[in-house]
Amino acid sequence: MVQITVPASSANLGAGFDALGIALALYNRVWMEEADGTPDNPLCIIESKDSVPIPTDRSNMIYQTARLLYERCGHPFKGLHIIQENNIPMTKGLGSSSACLVAGLLGANTLLGSPMSLADLSDLAAGLEGHPDNTAPALFGGLVTSVMEGGRVHTVSVPVSDRIRFAVFIPDFELKTEVARALLPQKVTREDAVYNLSRAALMTASLFSGSLENLRVAVQDRLHQPYRFPLIPGAEKVFYIAYELGAYAVAISGAGPSILAIVDRDDSEFALKAQRELKQSGLDGWQVQLFCCDPKGACVEFN
Protein backbone atom coordinates (compact mmCIF):
# COMPACT_ATOMS: atom_id res chain seq x y z
CA MET A 1 0.00 0.00 0.00
CA VAL A 2 1.23 3.50 -0.83
CA GLN A 3 0.50 6.66 1.16
CA ILE A 4 0.01 9.90 -0.75
CA THR A 5 0.15 13.24 1.08
CA VAL A 6 -1.17 16.29 -0.81
CA PRO A 7 -1.19 19.91 0.42
CA ALA A 8 -4.03 22.39 0.20
CA SER A 9 -3.60 25.27 -2.21
CA SER A 10 -4.81 28.83 -2.59
CA ALA A 11 -5.16 30.07 -6.15
CA ASN A 12 -5.01 33.52 -7.77
CA LEU A 13 -3.48 35.51 -4.88
CA GLY A 14 -5.53 38.46 -6.04
CA ALA A 15 -4.33 39.56 -9.46
CA GLY A 16 -2.92 36.22 -10.65
CA PHE A 17 -6.23 34.84 -11.91
CA ASP A 18 -5.84 31.21 -13.12
CA ALA A 19 -2.05 31.64 -13.08
CA LEU A 20 -0.73 31.95 -9.51
CA GLY A 21 -1.14 29.56 -6.61
CA ILE A 22 0.54 28.64 -3.36
CA ALA A 23 0.71 25.36 -1.46
CA LEU A 24 -0.30 25.46 2.20
CA ALA A 25 0.78 23.17 5.03
CA LEU A 26 -2.65 21.56 5.38
CA TYR A 27 -2.81 18.01 4.06
CA ASN A 28 -5.08 15.28 2.80
CA ARG A 29 -3.70 11.76 3.07
CA VAL A 30 -4.69 8.81 0.91
CA TRP A 31 -3.69 5.17 1.20
CA MET A 32 -4.01 3.13 -1.98
CA GLU A 33 -3.39 -0.43 -3.15
CA GLU A 34 -4.56 -2.56 -6.03
CA ALA A 35 -7.63 -4.71 -5.38
CA ASP A 36 -8.05 -8.29 -6.55
CA GLY A 37 -10.85 -7.84 -9.05
CA THR A 38 -10.88 -8.35 -12.80
CA PRO A 39 -10.77 -5.91 -15.73
CA ASP A 40 -14.41 -6.82 -16.42
CA ASN A 41 -15.43 -6.30 -12.81
CA PRO A 42 -12.93 -4.08 -10.99
CA LEU A 43 -13.34 -3.81 -7.25
CA CYS A 44 -14.03 -0.51 -5.51
CA ILE A 45 -13.25 -0.50 -1.78
CA ILE A 46 -13.21 2.99 -0.27
CA GLU A 47 -12.94 3.89 3.42
CA SER A 48 -12.70 7.13 5.39
CA LYS A 49 -10.43 7.63 8.40
CA ASP A 50 -12.50 10.54 9.67
CA SER A 51 -16.07 11.80 9.79
CA VAL A 52 -15.94 13.65 6.46
CA PRO A 53 -18.58 12.23 4.07
CA ILE A 54 -17.02 10.90 0.86
CA PRO A 55 -18.34 8.86 -2.07
CA THR A 56 -17.56 5.20 -1.43
CA ASP A 57 -18.55 3.98 -4.88
CA ARG A 58 -17.03 4.38 -8.34
CA SER A 59 -18.02 8.04 -8.47
CA ASN A 60 -15.20 8.79 -6.01
CA MET A 61 -12.85 11.30 -7.69
CA ILE A 62 -9.66 9.60 -6.49
CA TYR A 63 -10.87 6.23 -7.76
CA GLN A 64 -11.97 7.69 -11.11
CA THR A 65 -8.69 9.57 -11.62
CA ALA A 66 -6.54 6.57 -10.73
CA ARG A 67 -8.55 4.38 -13.09
CA LEU A 68 -8.07 6.94 -15.86
CA LEU A 69 -4.30 6.76 -15.44
CA TYR A 70 -4.35 2.96 -15.63
CA GLU A 71 -6.27 3.23 -18.89
CA ARG A 72 -3.94 5.91 -20.28
CA CYS A 73 -0.99 3.64 -19.56
CA GLY A 74 -2.70 0.63 -21.16
CA HIS A 75 -2.57 -1.39 -17.94
CA PRO A 76 -5.42 -3.73 -16.91
CA PHE A 77 -7.43 -2.16 -14.10
CA LYS A 78 -8.63 -4.64 -11.46
CA GLY A 79 -9.81 -2.10 -8.91
CA LEU A 80 -8.49 -0.26 -5.89
CA HIS A 81 -8.64 -0.21 -2.13
CA ILE A 82 -8.55 3.44 -1.03
CA ILE A 83 -8.48 4.96 2.46
CA GLN A 84 -8.93 8.72 2.78
CA GLU A 85 -8.13 11.25 5.49
CA ASN A 86 -9.62 14.62 4.58
CA ASN A 87 -8.26 17.71 6.32
CA ILE A 88 -8.73 20.15 3.43
CA PRO A 89 -12.29 21.52 3.65
CA MET A 90 -14.37 20.84 0.55
CA THR A 91 -15.81 23.58 -1.70
CA LYS A 92 -14.11 26.29 0.36
CA GLY A 93 -11.55 27.55 -2.18
CA LEU A 94 -8.59 25.58 -0.82
CA GLY A 95 -8.00 23.12 -3.62
CA SER A 96 -9.81 20.05 -2.28
CA SER A 97 -10.71 18.76 -5.76
CA SER A 98 -7.16 19.34 -7.01
CA ALA A 99 -5.84 17.40 -4.02
CA CYS A 100 -8.06 14.46 -4.99
CA LEU A 101 -6.90 14.60 -8.61
CA VAL A 102 -3.24 14.75 -7.63
CA ALA A 103 -3.66 11.93 -5.10
CA GLY A 104 -5.36 9.66 -7.64
CA LEU A 105 -2.79 10.32 -10.36
CA LEU A 106 0.28 10.14 -8.14
CA GLY A 107 -0.92 7.02 -6.32
CA ALA A 108 -1.81 5.15 -9.51
CA ASN A 109 1.43 6.21 -11.18
CA THR A 110 3.41 4.86 -8.21
CA LEU A 111 1.53 1.54 -8.23
CA LEU A 112 2.31 1.21 -11.94
CA GLY A 113 6.04 1.78 -11.42
CA SER A 114 6.03 5.51 -12.33
CA PRO A 115 5.62 5.33 -16.13
CA MET A 116 4.71 9.04 -16.20
CA SER A 117 6.88 11.96 -15.14
CA LEU A 118 5.69 14.65 -12.75
CA ALA A 119 5.38 16.97 -15.74
CA ASP A 120 3.07 14.44 -17.43
CA LEU A 121 0.97 14.18 -14.28
CA SER A 122 0.81 17.98 -14.03
CA ASP A 123 -0.50 18.20 -17.60
CA LEU A 124 -3.11 15.55 -16.94
CA ALA A 125 -4.24 17.04 -13.62
CA ALA A 126 -4.60 20.53 -15.09
CA GLY A 127 -6.51 19.15 -18.06
CA LEU A 128 -8.96 17.40 -15.74
CA GLU A 129 -9.35 20.45 -13.48
CA GLY A 130 -9.48 22.94 -16.37
CA HIS A 131 -6.64 25.15 -15.09
CA PRO A 132 -3.34 24.59 -13.24
CA ASP A 133 -3.48 27.22 -10.48
CA ASN A 134 -4.39 24.64 -7.80
CA THR A 135 -3.08 21.40 -9.27
CA ALA A 136 0.46 22.70 -9.85
CA PRO A 137 0.99 23.96 -6.26
CA ALA A 138 -0.50 20.73 -4.91
CA LEU A 139 1.96 18.72 -6.98
CA PHE A 140 5.11 20.84 -6.76
CA GLY A 141 4.69 22.97 -3.60
CA GLY A 142 5.83 26.54 -3.03
CA LEU A 143 4.64 29.60 -4.91
CA VAL A 144 3.78 28.47 -8.41
CA THR A 145 3.27 30.35 -11.65
CA SER A 146 1.61 28.21 -14.34
CA VAL A 147 0.57 28.58 -17.96
CA MET A 148 -1.29 26.04 -20.10
CA GLU A 149 -0.27 25.95 -23.75
CA GLY A 150 -1.34 23.26 -26.17
CA GLY A 151 -2.33 20.87 -23.39
CA ARG A 152 1.01 21.28 -21.62
CA VAL A 153 1.59 23.07 -18.32
CA HIS A 154 4.61 25.34 -18.13
CA THR A 155 5.27 25.97 -14.47
CA VAL A 156 7.86 27.42 -12.11
CA SER A 157 7.81 26.84 -8.35
CA VAL A 158 9.79 29.13 -6.05
CA PRO A 159 10.02 29.39 -2.25
CA VAL A 160 8.44 32.33 -0.47
CA SER A 161 9.98 34.61 2.10
CA ASP A 162 10.21 33.03 5.55
CA ARG A 163 9.01 36.33 7.02
CA ILE A 164 5.36 35.57 6.27
CA ARG A 165 2.57 33.15 7.14
CA PHE A 166 -0.87 32.67 5.64
CA ALA A 167 -4.04 33.21 7.68
CA VAL A 168 -7.06 31.52 6.12
CA PHE A 169 -10.54 32.76 7.04
CA ILE A 170 -12.88 29.81 6.45
CA PRO A 171 -16.68 30.32 6.60
CA ASP A 172 -19.32 27.76 7.51
CA PHE A 173 -20.90 27.90 4.04
CA GLU A 174 -19.76 26.55 0.68
CA LEU A 175 -19.32 28.09 -2.76
CA LYS A 176 -18.97 25.90 -5.81
CA THR A 177 -16.29 26.99 -8.28
CA GLU A 178 -18.62 26.71 -11.27
CA VAL A 179 -21.04 29.15 -9.66
CA ALA A 180 -18.32 31.70 -8.87
CA ARG A 181 -16.81 31.35 -12.35
CA ALA A 182 -20.14 31.77 -14.14
CA LEU A 183 -20.39 35.39 -12.98
CA LEU A 184 -17.13 36.49 -14.61
CA PRO A 185 -17.21 38.62 -17.77
CA GLN A 186 -16.15 37.06 -21.06
CA LYS A 187 -14.13 40.14 -22.07
CA VAL A 188 -12.10 42.73 -20.18
CA THR A 189 -10.65 46.08 -21.14
CA ARG A 190 -6.99 46.52 -21.98
CA GLU A 191 -6.69 48.82 -18.97
CA ASP A 192 -7.93 46.09 -16.63
CA ALA A 193 -5.71 43.48 -18.29
CA VAL A 194 -2.61 45.63 -17.79
CA TYR A 195 -3.70 46.42 -14.24
CA ASN A 196 -3.77 42.72 -13.34
CA LEU A 197 -0.70 41.66 -15.32
CA SER A 198 1.52 44.22 -13.59
CA ARG A 199 0.24 43.31 -10.14
CA ALA A 200 0.53 39.56 -10.69
CA ALA A 201 4.17 40.01 -11.67
CA LEU A 202 4.75 42.23 -8.63
CA MET A 203 3.14 39.63 -6.35
CA THR A 204 5.44 36.84 -7.52
CA ALA A 205 8.60 38.93 -7.21
CA SER A 206 7.61 40.34 -3.84
CA LEU A 207 6.71 37.02 -2.20
CA PHE A 208 9.94 35.47 -3.44
CA SER A 209 12.21 38.38 -2.49
CA GLY A 210 10.51 39.37 0.74
CA SER A 211 9.59 42.87 -0.49
CA LEU A 212 6.49 42.76 1.68
CA GLU A 213 5.76 46.48 1.40
CA ASN A 214 4.56 45.80 -2.17
CA LEU A 215 1.97 43.17 -1.32
CA ARG A 216 -1.00 45.42 -0.61
CA VAL A 217 -0.71 46.86 -4.12
CA ALA A 218 0.23 43.55 -5.74
CA VAL A 219 -2.90 41.77 -4.47
CA GLN A 220 -5.34 44.22 -6.09
CA ASP A 221 -7.54 42.77 -8.82
CA ARG A 222 -10.17 43.78 -11.37
CA LEU A 223 -10.82 40.48 -13.16
CA HIS A 224 -12.62 38.26 -10.66
CA GLN A 225 -12.84 39.46 -7.05
CA PRO A 226 -15.30 42.35 -7.62
CA TYR A 227 -17.73 39.87 -9.19
CA ARG A 228 -17.35 37.26 -6.46
CA PHE A 229 -17.75 39.49 -3.40
CA PRO A 230 -21.58 39.39 -3.51
CA LEU A 231 -21.41 35.57 -3.28
CA ILE A 232 -19.48 35.71 0.02
CA PRO A 233 -21.53 37.27 2.83
CA GLY A 234 -19.20 39.05 5.22
CA ALA A 235 -16.25 39.18 2.81
CA GLU A 236 -15.79 42.94 2.94
CA LYS A 237 -15.80 42.87 6.74
CA VAL A 238 -13.24 40.06 6.78
CA PHE A 239 -10.96 42.09 4.48
CA TYR A 240 -11.34 45.10 6.78
CA ILE A 241 -10.55 43.07 9.91
CA ALA A 242 -7.47 41.47 8.36
CA TYR A 243 -6.03 44.79 7.22
CA GLU A 244 -6.83 46.48 10.53
CA LEU A 245 -4.86 43.71 12.29
CA GLY A 246 -1.82 44.38 10.10
CA ALA A 247 -2.10 41.91 7.21
CA TYR A 248 0.21 42.68 4.30
CA ALA A 249 -2.35 41.54 1.72
CA VAL A 250 -5.83 39.98 1.61
CA ALA A 251 -7.50 38.08 -1.24
CA ILE A 252 -10.30 35.66 -1.96
CA SER A 253 -8.80 32.17 -1.91
CA GLY A 254 -9.43 30.67 -5.32
CA ALA A 255 -13.10 31.06 -6.18
CA GLY A 256 -13.96 31.46 -2.49
CA PRO A 257 -15.57 31.53 -0.08
CA SER A 258 -12.41 31.30 2.07
CA ILE A 259 -10.24 34.41 2.30
CA LEU A 260 -6.45 34.39 2.48
CA ALA A 261 -4.42 36.97 4.39
CA ILE A 262 -0.64 37.25 4.22
CA VAL A 263 0.63 38.13 7.68
CA ASP A 264 3.91 38.63 9.49
CA ARG A 265 5.60 35.48 10.78
CA ASP A 266 6.15 37.02 14.20
CA ASP A 267 2.50 37.97 14.75
CA SER A 268 1.63 34.81 16.65
CA GLU A 269 -1.58 36.37 17.99
CA PHE A 270 -3.07 37.23 14.58
CA ALA A 271 -5.47 34.27 14.40
CA LEU A 272 -6.65 34.78 17.99
CA LYS A 273 -7.21 38.51 17.48
CA ALA A 274 -8.97 37.92 14.17
CA GLN A 275 -11.28 35.31 15.71
CA ARG A 276 -12.23 37.76 18.43
CA GLU A 277 -12.94 40.52 15.91
CA LEU A 278 -15.05 38.19 13.79
CA LYS A 279 -17.20 37.30 16.79
CA GLN A 280 -17.66 40.94 17.73
CA SER A 281 -18.72 41.67 14.14
CA GLY A 282 -21.36 38.95 14.14
CA LEU A 283 -19.38 36.63 11.87
CA ASP A 284 -19.42 33.67 14.26
CA GLY A 285 -19.47 31.17 11.40
CA TRP A 286 -15.93 32.05 10.28
CA GLN A 287 -12.83 30.29 11.59
CA VAL A 288 -9.23 31.48 11.23
CA GLN A 289 -6.32 29.08 10.76
CA LEU A 290 -2.65 29.96 10.29
CA PHE A 291 -0.41 28.04 7.88
CA CYS A 292 3.10 28.09 6.50
CA CYS A 293 3.74 27.61 2.81
CA ASP A 294 4.36 23.96 1.94
CA PRO A 295 7.65 23.94 -0.02
CA LYS A 296 7.64 20.39 -1.42
CA GLY A 297 4.18 19.50 -2.69
CA ALA A 298 2.67 16.05 -2.87
CA CYS A 299 4.76 13.08 -1.77
CA VAL A 300 4.43 9.27 -1.76
CA GLU A 301 5.59 6.75 0.82
CA PHE A 302 5.41 2.97 0.83
CA ASN A 303 3.73 1.44 3.87
**What does the DSSP assignment read for 72-88?**
HTT----EEEEEEE--S
- Residues 122 and 167: their CA atoms lie apart, in Å, by 27
Q: Are residues 84 and 12 part of one domain?
A: yes
- Our separate counts of H helices and E strands in the chain read 10, 11
Q: What is the pLDDT of residue 245?
A: 98
Q: Are residues 246 and 207 part of one domain?
A: yes
- The conformational region for residue 68 under phi > 0 = left, psi -120 to 50 = alpha, else beta, is alpha
Q: Are residues 284 and 145 part of one domain?
A: no
pTM of the entire structure?
0.94
Q: What is the pLDDT of residue 303?
A: 80
Buried b (16+ CB within 10 A) or exposed e, 177-200: beebeeeeeeeeeeeeeebbeebb
CATH number at residue 247: 3.30.70.890
Helix H or strand E encompassing 20: strand 20-34
Q: Are residues 263 and 211 part of one domain?
A: yes
Q: Are residues 6 and 149 part of one domain?
A: yes
Q: Are residues 284 and 150 part of one domain?
A: no
Q: Are residues 215 and 281 part of one domain?
A: yes
Q: Are residues 259 and 170 part of one domain?
A: yes
Q: Are residues 144 and 33 part of one domain?
A: yes
Q: Are residues 138 and 9 part of one domain?
A: yes
User: Beta partners for 81?
Assistant: 33, 45
Return averaged pLDDT per consecutive 10 residues of the chain, 303 residues in all: 98 95 98 95 95 93 98 96 97 96 98 96 95 96 95 94 96 92 94 97 92 96 96 97 98 97 96 97 96 97 89
Is 116 in contact with 125 (CB distance < 8 Å)? Answer: no
Buried b (16+ CB within 10 A) or exposed e, 13-22: bbbbbbbbbb
- Residues 71 and 52: their CA atoms lie apart, in Å, by 29
Domain limits at 218?
164-291
Could you tell me how far CA 242 lies from the centroid of its own chain? Answer: 21
Q: Are residues 12 and 27 part of one domain?
A: yes
Q: What is the pLDDT of residue 143?
A: 96
* Nearest residue to 28 via CA among 92, 88, 115: 88
End-to-end CA distance of the chain: 6
CATH number at residue 12: 3.30.230.10
Q: Are residues 170 and 154 part of one domain?
A: no
- Residues 110 and 265: their CA atoms lie apart, in Å, by 36
Total number of domains in the chain: 2
Q: For 113-149, how does the pLDDT look when each residue is reduced to its tens digit (9 = 90+)?
A: 999 999 999 999 999 999 999 999 999 999 999 999 9
Is 291 in contact with 168 (CB distance < 8 Å)? Answer: yes
